[in-house]
Amino acid sequence: METLLLSLIFTIMTYDMPKLPYSNNALEPIISEQTINFHYGKHLQTYVTNLNNLVPGTEYEGKSVEDIVATAPDGPIFNNAGQVLNHTLYFLQFTGTPKRHEPSGKLAEAINKEWGNFENFKKEFTAASVSLFGSGWAWLSIDSAGKLHITKEPNGSNPLRNGLKPLLGFDVWEHSYYLDYQNRRADHIAALWSIIDWNVVEKRVD
């Protein structure tokens, strides 16, 4: 009976939109309400809907988004799962009322160990974000030994593919900034630093 119940739970498992911890206009002028309405309300919703339609009847039914991203081959299921995970991490890392503009604790120590100081890290991460060709993501991740890495991931990929745990991600697909910045990707990236909720990012380290 218990096995049957578990089977039914997995069968009806669906992937949901993350609930924003702020209003749609809370990140203005860095990210406008219009961009949130399109980027979160339409783009992310499409990925969530697609994933829910693609997974039933496959070997990934009942698996978490993280498991799918880590193990699925390139293709529609991976692409949509990757973007669901990426965008969930992305939207939840921001706040309209940041209490501080750099990390503390374990994350700050790891950043200082790897790059010397936070400003050096910002320069490296910004450079990765600006220089990524085409569409994709720049990520700060941590490995099992506690070492930090900056990676550039094409399209909907994620550091989980290489055994890394994603902590902070910047979306450089044009739909994430074009309504507000047109082709000025560098200006958009520079502005994002002022709305990061470092409490959220730090909790991802553990």
Q: What is the pLDDT of residue 12?
A: 52
pLDDT reading at 10 higher than 90 = no
For 58, list phi and psi in degrees, rounded to 5: -110, 175
The arithmetic mean of pLDDT across residues 66-85, rounded, is 97
What is the pLDDT confidence band of residue 206, given thresholds at 50, 70 and 90? confident
Q: What is the pLDDT of residue 148?
A: 98
Q: What is the pLDDT of residue 112?
A: 98
Taken in order of first residue, the domains within the chain and their CATH numbers are 105-203 (3.55.40.20)
The arithmetic mean of pLDDT across residues 165-178, rounded, is 95
The arithmetic mean of pLDDT across residues 140-151, rounded, is 97
Give the three-state DSSP class for 139: strand
Q: What is the pLDDT of residue 4?
A: 34
**For the chain, what is the mean pLDDT?**
93
The 10 Å Cβ neighbour count of residue 45 is: 12
Structure tokens at 4: 């049957």
* 110-119, 142-151, 175-184: the lowest-pLDDT one: 175-184
The 10 Å Cβ neighbour count of residue 44 is: 20
What is the pLDDT confidence band of residue 1, given thresholds at 50, 70 and 90? very low
pLDDT in tens, 182-192: 999 999 999 99
Q: What is the pLDDT of residue 127?
A: 98
Nearest Cα to Cα of residue 139 among 93, 200, 129, 131: 129
The arithmetic mean of pLDDT across residues 193-205, rounded, is 97
